[in-house]
Chains A and B, each alone.
Chain A
Amino acid sequence: MSFATRGFSGRRRERDDRLPPGQTLVQDWPVLSAGPTPQIDTGDWALTVRDETGTEHRWSWDELLALGVEDVTVDIHCVTHWSRLGMEWRGVSLDKVFEDVESEHEFVMAHSYGGYTTNVPLEDLLDGKAWVAVEADGAPLDPEHGGPARLLVPHLYFWKSAKWLRGFTMMPDNEPGFWEQYGYHIYGDPWKEERYW
C-alpha cells in the first residue's frame, strides 16, 4: 500500500544488500532500554543456565572467559529502524555454554540483571549463531550497551540480544519475555520485519 510522500527524496540512501527492509545504516550506537542502566561489577557477575530438573550450571566471569573468547564480525538490526554493519565483537560462543547442559526443552528464556527477560528458541542460540558478548568496537562493553556481558543473537532484532545477561532458563514452550509481552514479536526476524505483533 506504500505511496510516495510529496517532496521526500531521502538523504541516507545506503542501498546495501545487507540492510533488511525498513532499516537505516548508522555509524553511532543508539540505546534502547525500558529503565535505568544497571551497573554490574565483573567480580559480582555470574552466568547461570537452569534446566528442567532445576540443575544450575554456573560460570563466574573468569570461568566464562576461560571457555574461549572469539572474534565475531556481524551486522546488528534494532527494531527502532537502525542497523550497524560489520560490527566487531568478542564473546564466548553459546555452543560452549550449552555443551554440558542436558535438556529436552526447545526454548530458552534469557534473564538480565534488572529483571528483563526475552525468549529465544534454543536452535537460534546454537551452531555458531549466538554468543555471550563481552567486547564491542574494540573495548569492554559499556553498561549502556549491556555490559559487562550481553547476549548476541545478530540474526534476530537486537532486543533479543539481552543486555546485562545473567542467565538462561530452559522452557518447554515459547513463552514471551518482557519485551514480547509488551508487544514485540515473539521471534523477531529482521528480514521479515517481525517487529511487533
Chain B
Amino acid sequence: MSTEPAASTLARPRTRPAWHVATVAETRRETPTAVRLVLDVPTWPGSEAGAHLDLRLTAPDGYQASRSYSVAASTPAAPGSPGQVVLAVDEVPDGEVSPFLVRDVRPGDQLELHGPLGAFFVWRPGQSTRPVQLVAGGSGVVPLYAMAAAHAAAADETPFRLLYSVRTPDDVWFADELAALAGPTLALDLVYTRRAPEGTADVVGRLTRESFAARVLPAAERPRVYVCGSTGFVETVAGWLQELGHAAGDIHTERFGGLT
C-alpha cells in the first residue's frame, strides 16, 4: 500500500534559492479580493511551474514579516532584460501581509524575495506522459495556472484537466488566460460554490465526493494529481482522491493555510 512519494526525479540540477530585490512594475485587480503583482527582478534565475518564493517585508524600525507566494509566471533575467515574476495575492481578512500587498503596494515599491523554492510541487514538460489532473480551490489556482501555462508553452501533449472551485464568476483568477489555454490539451472545469454565471445551467454548491468524482480523471487512467488551496480544501480533496482509488504517491498537495 505504502506508495513511496516519487523520489525518482530528484537528482536533477536545481536552481539554488537566493535573495532578490524586486521592484513593483504593475498592480492589477485580479478579483474583488485579490491583486496581481508584476515584479521586475533583475536577478531572477527563472523557476519551474508550481514553484513558490518567500516574500519579505521590512518596516522602518527593522521589524520583518515573511510569507510564501506561488509564482504565477516568471521570465528569467537575461543580458539586457530584467527577469520578471508575477504573483497573485488574496486578502486574508485581518492578515498581516496580504492586506498590505492587496491594498497598499504601488508601482515602484521594492520588496525582497527569496527563491525559487519547492522542487516537489512542480510540473516539468516531458517528465511523464501520464495525464495530469489539477484541482484548485480559490487562490490555490496560482501554481496550477503556472503548470497549465507551462504545458501550453512547451506544446506538451500530455492531457491536462483543471477543476477549479470558486465562489462566483467574479472570483476566477487568471480568467482570460485560462479561457485562452482551454482547448484540446486543457479541459477547464469551473465549479461555482455561491453563484454561477447568469444564463447558465451550472449547478451552484460546494463540491461533494460524487460531483467531484464526475469531474476529474478516473483513477483507472492513473493521472498525476496536483491539489492546491486552503488547508481544509486540500484535506477534503486529497481524502476523496484516495477514496476514489488514486494512489497516495500520485497526489501532490500544496496547502496555503487557514482552515476552510
Contact = CB atoms under 8 A, between A and B. Distances in A.
A7 B104 contact: yes
Contacts of A30: 231, 255, 257
Interface in B2-17: 2-5, 7, 10, 14, 16-17
A183 B12 CA distance: 12
B68 A81 contact: yes
B63 A2 contact: no
A24 B65 contact: yes
A12 B98 CA distance: 13
B259 A28 contact: yes
7 smallest CB-CB distances across A and B, nearest first, come from: A36-B238, A115-B4, A182-B119, A8-B57, A182-B120, A11-B96, A181-B10
20 contacts: A1-B21, A2-B62, A3-B21, A5-B110, A8-B58, A8-B100, A8-B104, A12-B65, A24-B66, A24-B96, A35-B251, A35-B252, A35-B253, A36-B239, A38-B248, A115-B249, A178-B7, A182-B119, A183-B17, A183-B119
Interface in B244-260: 248-249, 251-253, 255, 257, 259
Nearest to B120: A182
Question: Interface of chain B, helix or strand or loop or mixed?
Answer: mixed
Contacts of B63: 9-10, 13, 15
A114 B247 CA distance: 10
B124 to A, nearest CB: 13
Contacts, number: 124
Interface string B76-109: 0000000000000000000010001000111001
A155 B59 CA distance: 28
A66 interface: no
A71 B106 CA distance: 49
A37 interface: yes
Considering residues A5, A7, A13, which has the most beta carbons from chain B within 10 angstroms of its beta carbon? Answer: A5
Contacts of B239: 36-37
Q: How large is the interface on B (under 10, 10 to 19, 20 to 34, 35 or more residues)?
A: 35 or more
Contacts of A5: 57-59, 109-112
B16 A197 contact: yes
B242 A3 contact: no
Nearest to A15: B63
A5 B111 CA distance: 6
B206 to A, nearest CB: 19
Contacts of A24: 65-66, 96
B253 A178 contact: no
B117 interface: yes
B80 to A, nearest CB: 24
